[in-house]
Amino acid sequence: MTQEPEFVVAVDWGGTWNRVNVVDSNGTVHWENRVANSLSRTTEELLANGERVMREALDWCGDRPVAGIGLAMAGPIDPETGIMDRPPNLMLLDGVSLKALWEPVFGLPVWVGNDADLAALGEYYFGAGRANPEGSDAASREEAVLPRTLVYLTISTGVGGGVVYRGQVFLGASGMAAEVGHMAIESGPDGPLCQCGSRGCLESLASGTAIARMAREKLAEADGTASILARGRPEDVTSGHVFQAATQSDPLALGIIDRLVAVLGVGLTNVLHLYNPDVLVLGGGVSEGIQDLDLMPRIHSLILERAMSGRHREFRFELSRLEGSGGMLGAAMLVWLNTSLA
Ligand SMILES: [Zn+2]
């Protein structure tokens, strides 16, 4: 008799850490470890360090059957071949396919995806997607009434996103769909330059990097010296400082927060019109500031004002429930979905 798989090995490979977990089909984490990417100077070292911690995970599983390996990777990735395409924070893996490399090494199926896409998948099955409209969460994935379309935005150093449609990540033709951070909001010559080369993208106006940049710009103006933020060096100001100053009613910080709310009102209405989600989720470091300042109701009402129809207004607007584990749980779910389809 063949045993049903009990676990998957799920990996969240970000710019700083490579985190490895052993996860069951209900999203419960049974084992975890991580390795710092800074320990590796070459692609070979990076891969060897990654392989070592994966081996530890599989050793922990022992004789208990493992369905496969799922990897959430920071950067563009071909979902079919698993080849990384110039990931800005993991350049040592440019052109590498962990799927091709590791399937023969571990003798297990390997599935890969972009971390924002998989964070959306994790949120769909294990986070905000699982909550029922009355507010209480379903006890298990099987009991949950899942959304039809969930859109997830991560707002941190940059702005990324993922769309899950009826339980599957919406990938587009080559895995590059849902680049919500690069929708134009202020595309005129005065719009801030985005790292993608365009002007006025959502990322250049709402990311943590953008919030810090706007604070520095305002501090350089004549009335900036009265701000709490002027007490430190302008180059050290972070988005966290801006949120902190806003809780103390600092006018300069509040001005930046007002702009953030307005920009998100426009950008998220665009998202609503494009994807018609029934659940819209915000995650990432900036969303913690949004929570601390209780900005969700303000952003929500701006979206409702701008939405073009009543049907577009019928969505749940939520903060992430998964506190940075979304990509990991999405990577696990990618394996379970592909296993059950096999
Ligand atoms: Zn851009």
Would you list the domain boundaries of the chain? 7-127+325-341, 149-319
Let me know: does 18 contact 49? Beta carbons within 8 Å.
yes
pLDDT at 223: 76
CATH number at 149-319: 3.30.420.40
d(CA 126, CA 137): 10
pLDDT at 142: 63
pTM here is 0.93
Ligand 1: centre distance to CA 158 (Å): 9
d(CA 208, CA 285): 8
Ligand 1: centre distance to CA 259 (Å): 18
In the numeric block, the tokens 């609503």 are attached to: 272
Low-confidence ranges of the chain (pLDDT < 70): 1-2, 132-144, 341-342
Ligand 1: centre distance to CA 179 (Å): 9
Domain pair 7-127+325-341 / 149-319, same fold: yes
d(CA 333, CA 258): 37
Strands 66-73 and 7-13: parallel
CATH architecture of 7-127+325-341: 2-Layer Sandwich (3.30)
pLDDT at 3: 76
Ligand 1: centre distance to CA 129 (Å): 28
In the numeric block, the tokens 């429930």 are attached to: 321
Q: Which residues pair with 282 in a beta bridge?
A: 153, 319
pLDDT at 132: 63
- Nearest CA to 81 among 98, 102, 106? 98
Ligand 1: centre distance to CA 94 (Å): 21
Ligand 1: centre distance to CA 48 (Å): 34
d(CA 134, CA 157): 33
**Rounded to a whole number, what is the distance in angstroms from the first to the last CA of the chain?**
18
Ligand 1: centre distance to CA 330 (Å): 25
pLDDT at 41: 93
pLDDT at 2: 63
pLDDT at 138: 61
